[in-house]
Amino acid sequence: MEYTVAAVHEALSVLMHVAHAPGLGVTEIARRSGNTKARTFRLLTTLEQSGFVQRGPTDTDYVLGPIALVLGLAAQEQVSLARLGRRHLEALGQRFDENVQIRVRDGLVSVTVVKWDSSQGVRVHSDIGVRRALHAGASGKLLLAFAPEALQQQVLDGPLERFTPQTLSQRAKLAREIAQVREQGYAVSKGEVFGGVVAAAVPVLDARGEVIAALGMSIPEVRAPADLAPHVDALTRAAQGLSRELGWPG
């Protein structure tokens, strides 16, 4: 079964030619991409309307547009986040021998971009790329608490799926929780996504001081201490170190 869309491949090919050789005209882009001139012009026009390319100085050449630049900066930020974050995850993992991970917000969900797995037999299983709703779990709640108000309202107004009996599926309770998370600067959850799992998460900041990720630790409830303060403190110090490496002035 074919799941790919040929037009998307063609558009991305054209976009990459513009990225690698800015200033080319329609004729040369068509030659390099293997499309007809008419087809290439339509693809470029579509990309231009979407903000991925724009006309260059001569109005007959093409360069990357603002949306492509935003996408590139976001990709660079996430690659740097994963690369620099691994050292901090390993240090936390070796100290506590519990799963630690970094999650970022993608619209209304959070996504794991890098992780370190516990060596213990009983541990929380997680994979890179796993997507979870923002209203459940420590990392999701933290990213939601520091998201724009309009997005917070969108989550509060939408369906709040209940994963376990502990999931915050009531709008009033969730609103109070994210306000508390924002005030205290960290989030804790107990069995909100999976039963028997305790988690804590703290924010990772970029050069502008904005929250771009959540650094979290997941612990099976059978091993979780009553007081998570030492874990939160260690996560906070690691997150601050990572944030400084990403340009945060501190």
Q: Which long-range contacts (CB under 8 A, 24 or more apart) does 76-85 make?
A: 77/206, 77/212, 77/246, 78/104, 78/113, 80/246, 81/113, 81/114, 81/204, 81/212, 81/213, 81/242, 81/246, 82/113, 82/114, 84/242, 84/245, 84/246, 85/113, 85/114, 85/204, 85/213, 85/215, 85/242
* Residue 100 and residue 170 share a domain: yes
- CATH code at position 173: 3.30.450.40
Looking at the structure, tell me whether residues 233 and 160 fall in a common domain: yes
- Extended beta strands in the chain, E state: 24-25, 53-55, 61-64, 99-106, 109-116, 131-133, 187-190, 197-205, 211-220
pLDDT exceeding 90 applies to what percent of the chain?
Answer: 66
Query: What's the pLDDT at 20?
Result: 87
The Cα 166–Cα 69 span in angstroms is 41
Torsion sign, CA atoms 166, 223, 180, 92 = negative
pLDDT digits 0-9 by tens, 162-183: 999 999 999 999 999 999 999 9
* Angular region, 51: left φ>0, alpha ψ -120 to 50, beta rest: left
Domain span holding position 221: 74-245
Could you tell me how far CA 242 lies from the centroid of its own chain? 16
Secondary structure class of 76 (helix, strand, coil): helix
Do the domain assignments include residue 250? no
Please report, for the domain that includes residue 22, its CATH number.
Answer: 1.10.10.10
- When divided into structural domains, the chain yields a total of 2
pLDDT at 203 (0 to 100)? 98
3-state SS assignment for residue 93: helix
Is the domain of 168 the same as that of 240?
A: yes
* 221/130 same-domain check: yes
Please give the average pLDDT of every successive group of 10 residues along the chain, which has 250 residues: 77 91 92 93 94 88 85 70 90 94 92 88 74 94 96 94 94 96 96 93 94 95 91 97 90
Euclidean distance between CA atoms 46 and 205, whole angstroms? 35
